[in-house]
Amino acid sequence: MFCPYCQTPIVDDPQLAGQTVACPRCGQQFVVPGKAARPVVIEQTAKRYKLIQLTGALVMVPAFILVLTGAIEIGLVGLLLGLVVYLWGRTLAWWHHG
C-alpha cells in the first residue's frame, strides 16, 4: 500500500482497513482501503425462459377465443398446448435458478 499523497510505501495491515491513518513521511491523513466487498449476485430469469412462457400464453389466448366462439375441440387442443409450453418455460426457469 502507498500513501495517496506522496506515494510512500506503507505497511499493509489488514487490521487498519477502513481506519484513518497519517502518513509517516508527509503527515497527510487518509483512509486505509479494505478488501473489496463481494458483489451481490441477483439472479434473473433468462430471457429465453420468459420467451417460452410468453409463447405459451400467446397460444392460449386465441385458443380460448376459439372455445368461446364454438370451435371447442381446436380451442381445447390450443389451450392444452399453450399450457404445456407455458409450464415448460416455468419449469426451465425454476430448474435453471434452483
Q: What is the share, in percent, of the chain residues with pLDDT greater than 70?
A: 88
Match 497527510 to its residue by C-alpha cell: 28
CA dist 9 and 28 (Å) reads: 14
pLDDT at 52: 93
pLDDT tens-digit map of 32-61: 887 655 666 666 667 888 899 999 999 999
pLDDT at 45: 67
CA dist 80 and 66 (Å) reads: 13
pLDDT at 63: 95
Mean pLDDT score of the chain: 86
pLDDT at 54: 94
